[in-house]
Chains A and B, each alone.
Chain A
Amino acid sequence: EVQLVESGGGLVQPGGSLRLSCAASGFTFDTHAMTWVRQAPGKGLEWVSTIIGSGGSIYYRDSVQGRFTISRDNSKNTLYLQLNSLRVEDTAVYFCARDQSLARGVIAWFSDSWGQGAQVTVSS
């Protein structure tokens, strides 16, 4: 069974930093691209970032480019998202999601398994 468990969320002041982790199990981690999607309170889903299985290709939405860093440690089956220079508008639940990569090195760009989410609140 695929399991994705996020951790590292919390309350931080504007301009602060957090690191989210997502521990994966139940599948061959390095064969799948992984994605972070966020959902602001009462709002819809918003794609944040995707990293290919090898870690060699990375993509970000424009509003987080230069502030957030996605990474992965395939030896630990763990995905990360480093959030720097946080803004009030970054407040959201951040979901870790597995890309339905049908082949190594390929990104399907949609997700077939999701974690429960980590709450990030940016407030003074």
Chain B
Amino acid sequence: DIQMTQSPSSLSASEGDRVNITCRASQGIGHYLAWYQQNPGKPPRLLIYAASSLQSGVPSRFSGSGYGTDFSLTISSLQPEDVATYYCQNYNSPPPAFGPGTKVDLK
């Protein structure tokens, strides 16, 4: 099975900062990578699929990039409502695997 890792596990940034989260797959997965945002006590929300396609309704400050084994999620200007945990997910083949998550806080 493919394993997913994320870095950092947590970060603190100021409002307006550019934030980058990295996700790595244990083997190549093409562009089959999704990103989710989860607030405490809430279900996940799909942000990005196919590594870089923005889900409908998601603000344009979110963007994704990467191919193969290395991927990133970027928030171009961090907003208070972006405080959450972010998960990547491989969907190249079953079983789909999630990364361990990156917790984003405001300084």
- What residues of chain A have their CB less than 8 Å away from a CB belonging to chain B? 37, 44-47, 50, 59, 61, 95, 97, 100, 108-117
Contact = CB atoms under 8 A, between A and B. Distances in A.
A110 B99 contact: no
A111 B92 CA distance: 13
A50 B49 CA distance: 18
Contacts, number: 53
Contacts of B93: 109
Interface of B: 32, 34, 36, 38, 42-46, 49, 55, 87, 89, 91-101
A97 B46 CA distance: 11
A112 B55 contact: yes
A114 B94 contact: no
A46 B98 contact: yes
- In this complex, which of A46, A110, A113, A114 has the most chain B Cβ atoms within 10 angstroms of its Cβ? A110
27 contacts: A44-B87, A44-B98, A44-B99, A45-B89, A45-B98, A47-B96, A50-B94, A59-B94, A61-B95, A95-B44, A97-B43, A109-B32, A109-B93, A109-B94, A109-B96, A110-B34, A110-B46, A110-B49, A110-B89, A111-B44, A112-B46, A112-B49, A112-B55, A114-B44, A114-B45, A116-B43, A117-B43
A112 B91 CA distance: 13
DSSP class of A's interface residues: helix, strand, loop or mixed?
Answer: strand
Contacts of A37: 44
B100 A110 contact: no
Nearest to B33: A110
Contacts of A45: 36, 38, 44, 87, 89, 98, 101
A8 B70 CA distance: 39
A109 B99 contact: no
